[in-house]
Amino acid sequence: MKFNKIVYSLATLSLLSNTGFAQQQSENLPPNATLQQLIDYALRNKISVKQAELDESIGEKDIDISLSGWYPQLGLTGNYNHNVKLPTMFFNGANIPMGTKNSSALTLQADQQILNPALMQAKKGADLLRLSNKQNTESQKIDAVVDVSKAYYDILTSEEQIKIVQENIARLQKQYNDAHSRYDVGVVDKTDYKRAQIALANARADEKRTVELRKYKYDYLKQLLALDKGQNLTLSFNNTNMEGQVLLDTTAGINVTNRIEFQQLQTSKKIQELNTQYYKWTYLPNISVFYNYAFNYRNNSFGKLYNDNIPSSVAGLNLSLPIFQGFKRKHQINKSKLQEERIDWDIRNLENTVNTEYSMARATYNANLNDWKTAQENVVLSKEVYETIKLQYDEGIKTYLDLMTAETDLKTTQLNYLNALYALLSSKLDVQKAIGAIQTN
């Protein structure tokens, strides 16, 4: 058994050393993972985050490709020509054949760009492209933190709901036993224990429904974490104090510049301004220098074609200046300026949207905070009412119907409290996202 474990470990290490994908798949969450461990794992493994990071790497390659034009370009060309019929030249009243039956050339040429608008744009835009890709990754990480946190709190709420329902089942089971005993001795009719039986069946159905929904919530969290469906996932709730995490200062104003969406639009504006500048640069000439060395071979016999070389070499400067293109460049500049203006409107629209989003998130949070406090008080009151009526029922003062009503009120207030707590924590995350306060580091 130990030998098998050693072989398995060595095989795993071999896979890890060969492929980055294996490294990703071998990373496991610790048992009883905390919320912070879930977030850290998601920031490393969530599919949308991994895709954004790959986009960053792809962007770096795009930058390298664009800037490669500044390096000397070295090329080799070759050709072979066979003159089926030699060209002639009229000289002194006669057509004289020119050239040879076979010719071949091999040319090595080096080019170096001196002035090129497209390369100038690539150099100026490299940092902006990197920034845009990093901001996209940051946006995906913010979504990951919010989504994983909400999913974790949702599961925690379900776990607590199951506990409440199970406590309710235990109470109802005892009530059913007591009611049946009273019926057996003839103290009451069968109505009480039949009602208890119905309530007990409904409670067990609630437990079954909540357990099934919990399975889905675990699968959803696995999806966010990019875990296989069959992979085991256990969560730790021991040190989770949801009540201690609900408070949030909503008096501070919002600064839209903290939002990643605003930063992305600012970067897009700078990229568009660079595009406008590029179209202005197109009025400049393209200038490059070159040098080539050619190996030339000529002979009427193909077998002797490459016996003699007649080399040639040229160095020079290329200049290309489009003079008139039907006002194309002018229209491109005007179009780019209009696109700049459109981004300005996008920024303005985002500012309005963010303010409305923050207003709604803050109002929702304040409303949920009030609901949570009310639900908290109702739980205390419903417990007192239940305990009082339970004593009165045991003494024969209250009817079983009164006891059932108190039991139902207690369970309802407990579940309402949990739902209000989850809604409050969820709305708190929405407020933090609205003000750009979600931390991904």
Distance of CA 276 to the CA centre of its chain: 31
Q: Read off the tokens for 181.
A: 């005993």
Distance of CA 364 to the CA centre of its chain: 26
Query: Which pLDDT score, from 0 to 100, does residue 241 have?
Result: 66
Residues 112 and 294: beta-carbon distance below 8 Å: no
Considering only the C-alpha atoms of the chain, give the largest distance between any 2 of them, rounded to a whole number of Å.
145
The Cα–Cα gap between 281 and 429 comes to 47
Best CATH choice for the domain 21-71+116-285+325-434 from the list 3.90.228.20, 1.20.1730.10, 1.20.1600.10, 1.10.645.10: 1.20.1600.10
Distance of CA 149 to the CA centre of its chain: 15
Which DSSP letter does residue 300 get?
S
The Cα–Cα gap between 101 and 80 comes to 11
Which DSSP letter does residue 317 get?
E
Q: Which residues of the chain have pLDDT under 50?
A: 1-26
Task: Count Cβ neighbours within 10 Å for each residue of 411-432 and write b for 16 or more, e otherwise.
Answer: bebbbbbbbbbbbbbbbbbbbb
Residues 129 and 314: beta-carbon distance below 8 Å: no
Nearest to 135 by CA among 22, 269, 12: 269
> Domain locations in the chain?
21-71+116-285+325-434, 76-114+287-320
Query: What are the Cα distances from residue 301, in Å, to 30, 184, 209, 310, 429?
Result: 79, 124, 92, 16, 84
The Cα–Cα gap between 68 and 205 comes to 67
Burial label, 338 (beta-carbon count in 10 A; 0-12, 13-18, 19+): exposed
Rg of the chain in Å (alpha carbons): 39
Residues 415 and 161: beta-carbon distance below 8 Å: yes
Query: pLDDT tens digits, residue range 373-432?
Result: 999 999 999 999 999 998 998 888 888 888 889 989 999 999 999 999 999 999 999 999
Q: Read off the tokens for 145.
A: 């933190």
The Cα–Cα gap between 396 and 402 comes to 11
Query: Which pLDDT score, from 0 to 100, does residue 13 have?
Result: 36
The Cα–Cα gap between 247 and 250 comes to 9
Query: Which pLDDT score, from 0 to 100, does residue 7 have?
Result: 32
Query: Which pLDDT score, from 0 to 100, does residue 240 have?
Result: 57
Query: Which pLDDT score, from 0 to 100, does residue 17 have?
Result: 37
Query: Which pLDDT score, from 0 to 100, does residue 217 have?
Result: 93
The label of the residue with tokens 């609901």 reads: 371
The Cα–Cα gap between 210 and 418 comes to 13
Burial label, 355 (beta-carbon count in 10 A; 0-12, 13-18, 19+): middle
